[in-house]
A and B are shown apart, each in its own frame.
Chain A
Amino acid sequence: MLETETKTFEDRLPELIKTDVGKFVLIKDDKVVGTYSAIQDALKDGYEKFKGQAFFVRQIVPVQQPLNFANNHLLS
């Protein structure tokens, strides 16, 4: 699930950085649906447009930082 959307995000990131850095992008399949100033707005639009289906929201930043966890029970 979301493989197409993840690839679309990676492919479109260079152009999104030029125009919408810091905003949140909403992607469904291979289409960029929109960009939003707040993540809540992107999620709300995704729920309204896709009615419970999976979609992809991610902040547009030049370097995608992974989440870090010190808890050694995670994925151990």
Chain B
Amino acid sequence: MPSFTQRIQNLQQIGPVVEILLTPSVPYMQSMGINIATIKDRVVKVLAMIDIGATGTVISKGITERINPVGTILINTPSHTDVSCYQFDAQIVFPNNVAIPSIVVTEAPLQGQHIQCLIGRDVLQHSVFIYTGYDNSFTLSF
């Protein structure tokens, strides 16, 4: 079962964050004839937080400048309702090369923190998420 474990100093304060790689989705690259082995200029490294309060996965604005959207969706946040946002088809690569080759993510402003991605329940529905508070660690398995 592919998995990774992160140990974070003061997990309670910082939260379950992990550095991930975002690329255009594998089906997109295959259809466009892009060699997956040579896409270094299209790989974006971002800090993501595992967020069980998020219906879907969100990325910050500006990360996906070089691909076009595949849809729009309305989102609700604590301060806004029914905000229309673009959606993009992306690949997410976690540590240990745990990869999701194609997932539709929503682009929205993430302000006031260094987090550029929220990993939502659309990803978590395929996984086991273990939050081991006393050990300041968490594990995500697929």
Stretch at the interface among A14-22, A29-37, A62-70: A62-70
Q: Which chain B positions have C-beta within 8 A of A66?
A: 73-76, 81-82
Closest CB in chain B relative to A68 CB, distance in Å: 5
Separation of A72 and B115 alpha carbons in the complex (Å): 12
Other A-B pairs, 17, CB within 8 Å; known A47-B32, A67-B106:
A2-B86, A6-B72, A43-B27, A51-B31, A53-B68, A54-B69, A54-B70, A55-B68, A67-B73, A71-B49, A71-B118, A72-B77, A72-B79, A73-B112, A73-B113, A76-B77, A76-B112
Q: Which chain A positions have C-beta within 8 A of B83?
A: 75
Count of chain B residues near A, Cβ 8 A = 44
Of the four ranges (under 10, 10 to 19, 20 to 34, 35 or more), the interface on chain A belongs to 20 to 34
